[in-house]
Amino acid sequence: MSWLLWIIFISLGPLSLGLWHRFRAGSFFGRRCGKAPNVDMTGKVVLVTGGARGIGKQTALAIKQMNANVAVLDIGFNDMEKLAFVEDTGLEYFECDLSSQRSIENFVRQFTFKHKKLDVLCNNAGIVYSGGLNTKVTEDGFSRVIGINFLGPFLLTQLLATLLLASPCGRVVNVASHQHENGTIDFENLQSFNLMDPLPYANSKLCLVLMAKKLNRILTAYQQKGEALAVHPGAVYSTIHKNTPAIFKIFFVPFAWLFFRSTMEGAQTSIFACTYPDEQRRLGGTYMEHLQVSTSKNPLSNDEELQDRLWVAALDLCFKGNSKEKCNFTRLLSAH
C-alpha cells in the first residue's frame, strides 16, 4: 500500500505544475507566445489548408475576423464538427484530399472558377503518422507523410501560381515544424523515403522549409512582389496525434494537454505570417516561431543548392516530367 501512496505523492508535484501551467501560466513546452496583431485584411483572399480543425481552424477564424475572404480546404466534411464550424462561421470551404493529385487538380479548378486572385496561401494541413509503419502509400505512389505534408502542398502551390501572381503581393506560408531540424533529404527515394526511416515527418517538414526559401528566391529574382516563408507553431495540443499507437497516447495525451499550447496559441505565428502588412516585406524567406524570425539549427535548410535540387525533383514527381505543360512559378515568371 505504501508504494501506492508514494506514486500518488510523487505524481502530485508534476500534476499540480501541469495544472498551474495549463490554467494560469499558459503552455510550458510550447512556450507562451504573444498574440498576432489585428490587421485590416479587407479585400484579401486567403486559403488555409487543413483549416477546419486544429491550428488551421484558429488561423482561418482569426483571419476571417480581420475581414478577409477566407476559404478553407480540408478533408472529410462529413465530420459534423468540421461542417458545423465552416457553416457557423460562413467560411467558404472545399473538400480536397492533399494526398491525391487528382483531388488537388479538381480543387484548383473549382477555386479558380470562383476567384481571380489569391493573396495568401497557408499550407497548414499535415499529419504526423499515417497510422502504422511508413508503408502506406497515396494513390500517386508516395508515402502518405511526404505526400500530404510536402508533395500535395507543393503541387497545390504550383497550380495556384497564376492566382498568387495575380495578387499585388501573393504570399505563401508553409506550416513546418521545429522537427525539420532533424530532417534530411534522400533524393534516391524522395517520394517514399526509406520505409524504415524513423523521421519521415521531420524530412517532410524540412522539405517545406526548403520549398518556402526557394519560392521566395524565385519571386525575388523576378522582382516579383510576393513572398514565401515557413513557420513553426510550437508544441500544440491538437488532434494531430490521433493515429499514433494507443500505448504512446496514454502517456502523451495527458502530458500534451497539461503542458502544450492550445490551438489558439499555436495559430498565432501562422496568423502573424499570413497577415503582417505587405509594406513590411522583410520576412520573406525566413523561418518563424514564437511570432519572431528564428534561426534553423539544421544547416541544410539554408543550402541553396539543395533547395534548387528539391524544387526540380518535386516538379518532376508532381508533373511526371510534364512540368512545362502545366502552370508553375518558374514558367509563368519567365514568360513575363
Ligand X SMILES: NC(=O)c1ccc[n+]([C@@H]2O[C@H](COP(=O)([O-])OP(=O)(O)OC[C@H]3O[C@@H](n4cnc5c(N)ncnc54)[C@H](OP(=O)(O)O)[C@@H]3O)[C@@H](O)[C@H]2O)c1
x/- mask, ligand X, residues 210-249, rule CB under 6 A, reads ----------------------xx-xx-xxx---------
Closest C-alpha to 91, from 74, 70, 62: 70
Cell of 24: 494560469
Quote the least distance from Cβ 271 to ligand X, whole Å.
13
229, 159, 187, 138: CA torsion to nearest 10: 110
CB 211 within 8 A of CB 154: yes
CB 314 within 8 A of CB 150: yes
Quote the least distance from Cβ 114 to ligand X, whole Å.
19
Of residues 43 through 82, those in contact with ligand X by CB under 6 A are 50, 52-56, 74-76, 79
Q: Exposed, middle or buried: residue 58 (CB in 10 Å: 0-12, 13-18, 19+)? A: buried
> Which residues on adjacent β-strands are paired with residue 173?
122, 229
Query: Within the chain, what is the greatest distance between any pair of CA atoms?
Result: 78
Stretch that binds ligand X, among 108-116, 119-127, 182-190, 305-313 (CB under 6 A): 119-127
Closest C-alpha to 57, from 88, 27, 26: 88
285 counts as binding ligand X under rule CB under 6 A: no
x/- mask, ligand X, residues 254-273, rule CB under 6 A, reads --------------------
The residue from 121, 125, 206, 228 that contacts ligand X (CB under 6 A) is 125
Cell of 78: 462529413
Quote the least distance from Cβ 232 to ligand X, whole Å.
6
Q: Could you tell me how many residues of this chain bind ligand X (CB under 6 A)? A: 28
Quote the least distance from Cβ 74 to ligand X, whole Å.
5
Stretch that binds ligand X, among 6-14, 39-47, 92-100, 307-315 (CB under 6 A): 92-100
Which residue in this structure is represented by grid cell 528539391? 310
CB 66 within 8 A of CB 45: no
Is the Cβ of residue 153 or residue 170 nearer to ligand X in the bound state?
Answer: 153
Q: Strand 287-289 relative to strand 292-294: parallel, antiparallel, unpaired? A: antiparallel
Amino acid letter at 233? P
Cell of 307: 533547395
Quote the least distance from Cβ 213 to ligand X, whole Å.
17
Is the Cβ of residue 7 or residue 250 nearer to ligand X in the bound state?
Answer: 250
Is the Cβ of residue 99 or residue 307 nearer to ligand X in the bound state?
Answer: 99
The residue from 36, 46, 156, 175 that contacts ligand X (CB under 6 A) is 175
Of residues 96 through 115, those in contact with ligand X by CB under 6 A are 96-99
Q: What are phi and psi of 331, to 5 degrees?
A: -65, -45
Of these residues, 201, 237, 276, 287, which one is catalytic?
201
Quote the least distance from Cβ 31 to ligand X, whole Å.
12
CB 29 within 8 A of CB 232: no
Is the Cβ of residue 177 or residue 191 nearer to ligand X in the bound state?
Answer: 177
124 counts as binding ligand X under rule CB under 6 A: yes
For the chain, the residue count is 336
b/e code 115-152 from CB counts within 10 Å (16+ = b):
beebbbbbbbbbbbbbeeebeebbebebbbbbbbbbbb
Quote the least distance from Cβ 1 to ligand X, whole Å.
39
Active site includes 222? no
Of residues 135 through 164, those in contact with ligand X by CB under 6 A are 148
Residues at the contact surface with ligand X, assessed by CB under 6 A: 50, 52-56, 74-76, 79, 96-99, 124-127, 148, 175, 177, 232-233, 235-236, 238-240
Q: Which residues are catalytic?
A: 201
